[in-house]
Structure 1
Amino acid sequence: MRPTLSTLTVFTLSCAFCLAGASTLRNPFLGCEENAFPPNKSNAVPQYTISLDLVPEDRWTQLITDKKEQMVALVGHVRNLTRMVLGDRVFQIVIDHLEELSSTLPSPYREEMVGISQVSGLPVSEVTLYNIFYEVFTFCTSIIVQDSTGRLYHGRNLDFGLFLGWNPKEHTWQVAELLKPMVVQLEWRRGGELLYQSVSYAGYVGVLTAVKKDKFTFSLDERFSLDGGFMGLLEWVLLKDHKQKWIAFITREVMEQADSYEAAKYTLSHTRLLAPVYFILGGAQRGQGSIITRWRDNFRVDDLGSKVSGSSSWFLVETNYDLWNSPPFYDDRRSPAVRCLNEAGQGNASLSLLYNVLSTRPVMNKLTTYTSLMQVNEGHLEAWLRFCDDPCWPW
């Protein structure tokens, strides 16, 4: 999913903020947010339809036509950052490998990226880079709660852009701000019927957050591992190992093909992956909530009621760290979320509680691009852009 950041690296970068005197960026837990819900309607994200009846090259035409200017600006920024970090020579080698990589991606995703390239005017290699970056630099928080009647609610923050350009004047991450105009809510249809809904970024062909009515809800969070996505990427390109699944593509397949919570759970647990990840899955019946911790070849499932931190009889909380270990001091979003859920109690389990918890600093932070809420029985999905005013953690 991302190049592994060692504890020392993150600690050093954290201290850099401290030494720079950025006191306004360093606020402790200030208490649970109780009045964030309902969100401001002006921050609701726009909705589009993706028709799977169209040929893959044409599925994203309207969306990319509307978002072309923003997509070109974002990809240009990412390209410049990558070139600056790697240097011109190494950057060109990466781009050349992306040309090769894009030609080996499975259908229909390869053809969809070609269509996005044609509409946006960006080379296919850069459209591929754009998609890969979501699997490399994503932080997240996902929460499932169950009320006393067994009704399940699923919410998530998607945080993106860590170390990808800090604006010291505005106290914002540049990539996170460029991404916000790209957030869209999608209806995926086939034969005129609604298959599922998702929230994503325009031009990203995978699924990060989604609901399939009366079946299951889904989100994914990044997982750090020495056996990270770069290892799988190298195996894909150099060893031609194309049997492993890309995260973005397996999530699409699950949303389009799985017809039950158990079927989705099995596929997400047993499929060999290109990169480690956390899959957060909620069902339509009492007790159907799980965090699937994935290595590339192995898995562990923690269900509602598991005896691990971040789990209780009525909620699950996943950020970006294994539930059986304590989160690191420099990025503990789990503890505030758990504390706020416990203070509220199961009697208040609802979409409004989820939104308030996801609005609590540092669960919400400068990296947070959107918050989404889902309810499986109603097929409910909503998403809003987020703006974390100071005092607010950088991440």
Structure 2
Amino acid sequence: MWNNKITILLIFLAIQGIFGEQCLNDQWPPKPERAVPTYVVNLDDPPMERWNQVATAFKSEIIDILAFFKAYIVEISPNLKFLLELIDDKLPALADTLPAPYGDEMKGISQATGLPLGIHIHMQISLPYWDMSNNTWILTEKLRTLITQINFTRNGEVLFKTTSVLTGLKPNAFSVSVNSRTSFQGGYEGLIEWIFNINRNQSFITFALRDMLTKAESFDVVVNYLAETELLAPCYYIVGGPKPEQGVVITRERTKAVNITRMELTMATYTTSVDTQDRLLESPMRETSINTVKSIPISTRYGYVLVTQQGASDRPVIVTYHDVGYNSATQFHHFFAFPEMIPITEHFTIYHINAPGQEDRANPLPSTSVYPTMEQLAETVNDVFNHLDIKTAVGFGVGVGANILTRFALKYSTKIYGLILVNCISRGIGWFEGFTLKWPTQDMPQQAWTDALLTYLIWYHLGYESQSAHPDLVQGLRRHLEENVNAKNVVKLLNSFLKRTPILMERPNELNKNANPPISLKCNIINMTGFSSPHKDDVIDTNDKCDPAKSSYVEFADCGGALLEEQPAKTAEAIRLFLQGLGYISHLSIPKFSIANRLTEQAAEYKRRNGPSSRAPRRSSAPFDSVDSGLYRSDSQGDDLDDDPNYYGHELQLRVDSFDDRNVKL
């Protein structure tokens, strides 16, 4: 008997799954006959009365769909009439098993339309599981007549809006849509478990969607709710918020989320799914300390600088300094809101320093003003420290910003506890570099953008390989330079950088302990660059001038000069390890398999370079002193470590323990 019930149900569900036709094209803007009406469902009304207006308005369409549905089943086989009888006789009892208020709402719709409760319940609970092949059903044109926008109200105000049962919008907060890709073991199986009372501690995906729209107040709450709620069927949710960084795709299995993909922002991506679903968002959602950015104008001895604050005010301090052509907003704000950086942002106060005149849409600096030199810009950093009463901080600089913070750390060594340097150039301008820069910078006195100058800055930030691999970054950077920043001010900063003097520091002499102590950085340093960065040799040169006991060198494969845009997750991981080596955020766990995944990536790269039949040598877990030594060990040391998680865990622990005092090439 039990098997017969399941067989009958599966036959009926399979019939629904074969109804399909292709979607229509070129239907935007919608034709007048396809205009979507709007109705109000008042959540203050009793559940059995909420849908009376909608049910009455669409009574004829619902009857038409029901007649079509029954006729189609009988047309397939007259012997299937018993399925309709089963639905009419057995499914009404399910209304009392459904979570409130959905069972009572279905009863109310049944009474308002005069239609059998069983078929209505069936249509509601099985709708998310019908389509498995990315088509719509043969019922498309029938269902299209039922498409309507529902404004759910409470206390006279719109709480949220929906179009059909798979999309929703909470004004000023978030939008969400759900798509279902199911199979028996993850879709119909859950429905069977509910019908036969095997497991009812799960939610229908449409009920979960509406529960979330009713209760959730913010983007983050929505993401957590949809990722953790146990469902009857696998699906994926697309959630968007009113901010550029608020976009996420949640891939679900029945019990948990198997993947949460957040929007990876570059300057070229400033749209979210909420923009495409509703452009009527009138005010930003409730801010958090991570997303809230506070502006602090500070007067220094060399002019005003704008400092922005991210994170709470009572934490250890990180001070950042941007590269030429960027500013705090485009270089750091979104990076510190990146998922892998959030554990860091939550535990630090981050002050982002903008060089004079470099903030977005800054007013042009006076023509008569003399822009500060690199040494003078380092002094403005000290003025910022004094104004904000910063006793000590971790510095985080990129390019020009790394050069400035290094100068500051040399002069004010007690104020910098650690340095995170990306593409740091410590040498001065050589004759060859001066010669090669003569053509692209010949129009700099005009203090306006030229094609040659834009081309140079794009190469400076990305390098040739990244320009080819990431055209979106090229377009975004060009658009940012042309539209957001003041060309005259950027040229002034670039001119100061091209007139820089070398940073006078050198590695301590370990052989002659009696020699005069050299000028060197006293803090711990991590020097980072990309494999194809145009500044890779300069970063290696800078690292060679640092105390090897306090410096680390990190080079990212498949990456050019824009580490924060090309490899934000790996950059965040390196920063996190460095900060933990300094004694900060030591309670945070380290991604267990991050090194294992990195080894897999490197093995694939080795085979790409040496042929698919080549066998990648193993990587040694022992500390090593130079960039190129100790990276691999031969296969003769044993094959018993293949895919051994203990090996990877042991290697990871060694890497964490020795991160401060060795060079790492990732």
Q: TM-score, normalised by structure 1?
A: 0.60
Q: Does structure 2 retain, via aligned residues, the 8 Å contact 1:246–1:274?
A: yes
- Return the offset for 1:376: 6.6
- Work out the CA distance in 1 between the residues paired with 2:72 and 2:122: 12
Aligned residue for 2:214, secondary structure, equals helix
Q: Which amino acid aligns with 2:156?
A: G
- Work out the CA distance in 2 between the residues paired with 1:53 and 1:285: 31
Aligned residue for 1:273, secondary structure, equals coil
Higher helix share: 2
- Work out the CA distance in 2 between the residues paired with 1:94 and 1:36: 36
Give yes or no for the alignment of 1:304 onto 2:263: yes
Structure-2 residue corresponding to 1:292: 250
**Which is bigger in relative contact order (C-alpha 8 A, separation at least 6)?**
1
- Return the offset for 1:313: 5.3
Structure-1 residue corresponding to 2:119: 126
Q: Which amino acid aligns with 1:136?
A: Y
Give yes or no for the alignment of 1:186 onto 2:150: yes
Q: Does structure 1 retain, via aligned residues, the 8 Å contact 2:234–2:253?
A: yes
- Return the offset for 1:243: 1.1
- Whichever of the two has the greater Rg, that structure is 2
Q: 1:71 aligns with which of 62, 66, 71?
A: 62
Q: Comparing 176-185 with 129-138, which one deviates more in the overlay?
A: 129-138
Q: Does structure 1 retain, via aligned residues, the 8 Å contact 2:167–2:177?
A: yes
Residue deviations 1:200-222 (CA, integer Å, cap 9, x gap): 2xxxxxx3111111211011111
Structure-2 residue corresponding to 1:145: none
Give yes or no for the alignment of 1:242 onto 2:200: yes
Structure-1 residue corresponding to 2:648: none
Q: Does structure 2 retain, via aligned residues, the 8 Å contact 1:137–1:160?
A: no
Q: Comparing 92-101 with 179-188, which one deviates more in the overlay?
A: 92-101
Give yes or no for the alignment of 1:260 onto 2:251: no
Q: Comparing 254-263 with 240-249, which one deviates more in the overlay?
A: 240-249
Would the alpha carbon gap of residues 140 and 283 (structure 1) be closer, same or farther in structure 2, given more than 3 Å must change? farther
- Return the offset for 1:223: 1.4
Would the alpha carbon gap of residues 210 and 140 (structure 1) be closer, same or farther in structure 2, given more than 3 Å must change? farther
Runs of 4+ in 1 over 6 A off after TM superposition: none
Aligned residue for 1:160, secondary structure, equals coil
Residue deviations 1:342-382 (CA, integer Å, cap 9, x gap): xxx858x699x96xxxxxxxxxxxxxxxxxx3237349xxx
Residue deviations 1:138-167 (CA, integer Å, cap 9, x gap): 4798xxxxxxxxxxxxxxxxx631xxxxxx
Would the alpha carbon gap of residues 253 and 91 (structure 1) be closer, same or farther in structure 2, given more than 3 Å must change? same
Give yes or no for the alignment of 1:216 onto 2:180: no
Q: 1:61 aligns with which of 47, 52, 75?
A: 52
The 5-angstrom pairing of residues 380-395 of structure 1 reads none
Q: Which amino acid aligns with 1:107?
A: A
- Work out the CA distance in 1 between the residues paired with 2:193 and 2:231: 12
The 5-angstrom pairing of residues 1-395 of structure 1 reads 38-82=29-73, 84=76, 87-138=80-131, 160-161=136-137, 173=138, 175-200=139-164, 207-299=165-257, 300-305=259-264, 373-375=277-279, 377-378=281-282
Q: Does structure 2 retain, via aligned residues, the 8 Å contact 1:139–1:221?
A: no
- Return the offset for 1:125: 0.4
Q: Does structure 2 retain, via aligned residues, the 8 Å contact 1:50–1:189?
A: yes
User: Percentage identity across aligned positions?
Assistant: 29
Q: Which amino acid aligns with 2:34?
A: N
Residue deviations 1:52-108 (CA, integer Å, cap 9, x gap): 011011111111111100001112222333454671234433444422322311111
Where structure 2 has 5 or more consecutive residues not aligned to the other structure, the ranges are 1-8, 12-16, 284-666
Would the alpha carbon gap of residues 242 and 376 (structure 1) be closer, same or farther in structure 2, given more than 3 Å must change? farther
- Work out the CA distance in 1 between the residues paired with 2:145 and 2:91: 26
- Work out the CA distance in 1 between the residues paired with 2:280 and 2:36: 20
- Work out the CA distance in 1 between the residues paired with 2:151 and 2:261: 30
Q: Does structure 2 retain, via aligned residues, the 8 Å contact 1:3–1:136?
A: no
Where structure 1 has 5 or more consecutive residues not aligned to the other structure, the ranges are 5-9, 18-24, 28-32, 142-158, 162-172, 201-206, 306-311, 315-344, 355-372, 380-395
Residue deviations 1:303-339 (CA, integer Å, cap 9, x gap): 113xxxxxx859xxxxxxxxxxxxxxxxxxxxxxxxx
Would the alpha carbon gap of residues 41 and 90 (structure 1) be closer, same or farther in structure 2, given more than 3 Å must change? closer
Q: Does structure 2 retain, via aligned residues, the 8 Å contact 1:213–1:377?
A: yes
Would the alpha carbon gap of residues 39 and 89 (structure 1) be closer, same or farther in structure 2, given more than 3 Å must change? closer
Q: Does structure 2 retain, via aligned residues, the 8 Å contact 1:218–1:280?
A: yes
- Work out the CA distance in 1 between the residues paired with 2:133 and 2:281: 24
Q: Does structure 1 retain, via aligned residues, the 8 Å contact 2:193–2:199?
A: yes
Q: Which amino acid aligns with 1:119?
A: A
How many pairs align? 268
Q: Let me know the Cα RMSD of the aligned residues.
A: 3.7
- Work out the CA distance in 2 between the residues paired with 1:78 and 1:36: 26
Would the alpha carbon gap of residues 256 and 36 (structure 1) be closer, same or farther in structure 2, given more than 3 Å must change? same
- Return the offset for 1:230: 1.6
Q: Which amino acid aligns with 1:209?
A: T
- Return the offset for 1:26: 12
